[in-house]
Structure 1
Amino acid sequence: MSASRPHGNAKYHLELCRCPVCCQAARDYDNNRRRAIAYGRWQPFVDAEPVRAHVRALGEFGIGWIRVAKLAGVSTGGVSKLLYGDRPRGLAPSRRVRPETAMKLLAVEPVLENLGARTPVDGAGTRRRLQALVFAGWTQSELARRMGMNRANFARTIVSDLVGVATVKAARTLYDDVWRVDPIASGVPEFRAAAARRIAVSNGWAPVGAWDDDTIDDPAAFPDWTGHCGTPEGRRVHYRIKVPVCEPCREAVKSARAA
């Protein structure tokens, strides 16, 4: 026989337990039910279709229904019946679900923390973080080592449009750990650090200071090399600090001339 269910309302009704915990749980449930009925809010079940559609949509993000159930804290059996019905008994997918179950499932979102490790996502933030670290003097070999990647995979990642979720998380952790750390003081030979910086400059990679934490992951954002990028003043600062003029500054000058 399976283990006894925990004390509470279900145990009160199904196992007829009359301990203080079960009695109180039953009273609380009944009081809440009566109060909800009185206020016209009692809904023992809600339409299952929006919930089913949400769970299926999460599957398109690589979050399987079993993982959704675990993230929501609901039974896998209940989610299976929601999607596929009870096949051994020939029952169709659930038409209704309890409101609390619906809310828990609908609360699961396709955010980075919930996605599978291999799910491909936009690589803008990852590229920018790794390129900024190279600009700071970190060699790609050292960054690859710290991320647990081989050099060839790292070389693809640093310019890739799409990267896996696990790589995004690893790049964020690495960036947070070392963006203020001197690579030479951490063991990177000075001549290799200088070579890394030259590679970054030749590729037009932006330094750490050009990115804002709130926009570094936004594909539409551009690096603010000067503190005035995207304005006519930005081009003058580019010349002063001897950094090639960025596209937003070129466009700002064109717009100003055309005005």
Structure 2
Amino acid sequence: MTAPGGRPHGNAKYHLEKCRCRTCCDAASAYDTNRSRAIAYGRWHPYVDAEPVRTHVKALSEFGIGWMRLAKIAGVPRGSVSKLLYGDPRRGMAPSKRLLPKNAQAILAVEPALEHLGSRVPIDGTGTRRRLQALVAKGWSQSELARRLGVDRANFGGTMTRGLVCASTARTVNGLYDELWRLDPEQHGVPARWAEQARTLAADRRWAPPGAWDDDQIDNPDAWPDWTGWCGTPDGYRIHYRVRVPLCPPCRTARTDARKAAA
């Protein structure tokens, strides 16, 4: 049952609006009973320290998840997150020192993940570039990739080289890569001539194929593709020449270190 003012009858209405109807009185009595029992057993923890939660919110903000978007993702009132960060200047209130456990848990459960970013938030384009380049190396033509992404072919080339991309673009490319990297392009609408041209272009530009990237490394700007399965070792150096794949920096370094060790 909801009162005319909009607040439902219950414990909150009993305390905040002084309603003394049967429903509110019963709810308040049950709350007090449960509270007393929890205190007696040492289980009464109505609030938690806000500082770890505030630190988490600031870290998410640096990642690109603003506090208002965070409140929506976590299902927490925006006012609670605002007071956590800024307090209430109009009332001279400092940032919150305590927080309801359910709100704290909901906020801390939000991770700095791509799916939580707003569509237009700019992010590093390394993973997006590598995924598209790997698909070209597989034989997917740029025209076909542009068609599947729903973008104009003339604008597609920029996505292949851009330093920053929108989060929505990265999510779309990730999905396309997961869909296509195992498939043979020639069996899914790409003419053989176009597929061969794509593979030749990728080879000329040293774009690594899907098999050279681990899922946990493809987005890392400091990572190198494992062309041979042994890259970064002296064996990788030899395999590069055997399969005629251009030598990668980790294998060049491994070769130099091996020669120094043998000297």
TM-score with structure 2 setting the length: 0.82
User: After the TM superposition, which residues 1-259 of structure 1 pair with which residues of structure 2 at under 5 Å, given as runs?
Assistant: 1-5=4-8, 9-10=11-12, 15-16=19-20, 18=22, 23=26, 27=30, 30-31=33-34, 33-86=35-88, 89=91, 91-259=93-261
Per the alignment, do residues 63 and 213 of structure 1 end up closer, same or farther by CA in structure 2, a change over 3 Å counting?
Answer: closer
Letter in 2 for 1:223: P
Per the alignment, do residues 246 and 85 of structure 1 end up closer, same or farther by CA in structure 2, a change over 3 Å counting?
Answer: closer
Task: Give the match's secondary structure for 2:161.
Answer: coil
Runs of 5+ consecutive residues of structure 2 not aligned to the other structure: none
Displacement after TM superposition at 1:158 (Å): 1.6
Per the alignment, do residues 51 and 236 of structure 1 end up closer, same or farther by CA in structure 2, a change over 3 Å counting?
Answer: closer
Name the Cα RMSD after superposition.
3.0
Letter in 1 for 2:149: M
Displacement after TM superposition at 1:75 (Å): 1.4
Runs of 5+ consecutive residues of structure 1 not aligned to the other structure: none
Structure-2 separation of matches of 1:153 and 1:29: 64
Structure-1 separation of matches of 2:92 and 2:163: 46
Q: What are the Cα deviations for residues 18-77 of structure 1, in whole angstroms up to 9, with x where unaligned?
A: 55x99579636742x335423545343344454444434433333222222112212123
Letter in 2 for 1:134: V
Per the alignment, do residues 139 and 22 of structure 1 end up closer, same or farther by CA in structure 2, a change over 3 Å counting?
Answer: farther
Displacement after TM superposition at 1:141 (Å): 2.0
Per the alignment, do residues 94 and 209 of structure 1 end up closer, same or farther by CA in structure 2, a change over 3 Å counting?
Answer: closer
TM-score with structure 1 setting the length: 0.83
Which shifted more, 125-134 or 102-111?
Answer: 102-111
**Identity score, percent:** 61
Task: Give the match's secondary structure for 2:6.
Answer: coil
Task: Give the match's secondary structure for 2:179.
Answer: helix
Structure-2 separation of matches of 1:143 and 1:22: 64
Task: Give the match's secondary structure for 1:144.
Answer: helix
Structure-2 separation of matches of 1:104 and 1:251: 46
Letter in 1 for 2:6: A
Per the alignment, do residues 255 and 37 of structure 1 end up closer, same or farther by CA in structure 2, a change over 3 Å counting?
Answer: same
Letter in 1 for 2:127: G
Say if 1:8 and 1:26, in contact at 8 Å, map to a contact too: no
Q: What are the Cα deviations for residues 77-115 of structure 1, in whole angstroms up to 9, with x where unaligned?
A: 333333444455555544433233233223333221211
Aligned length: 256
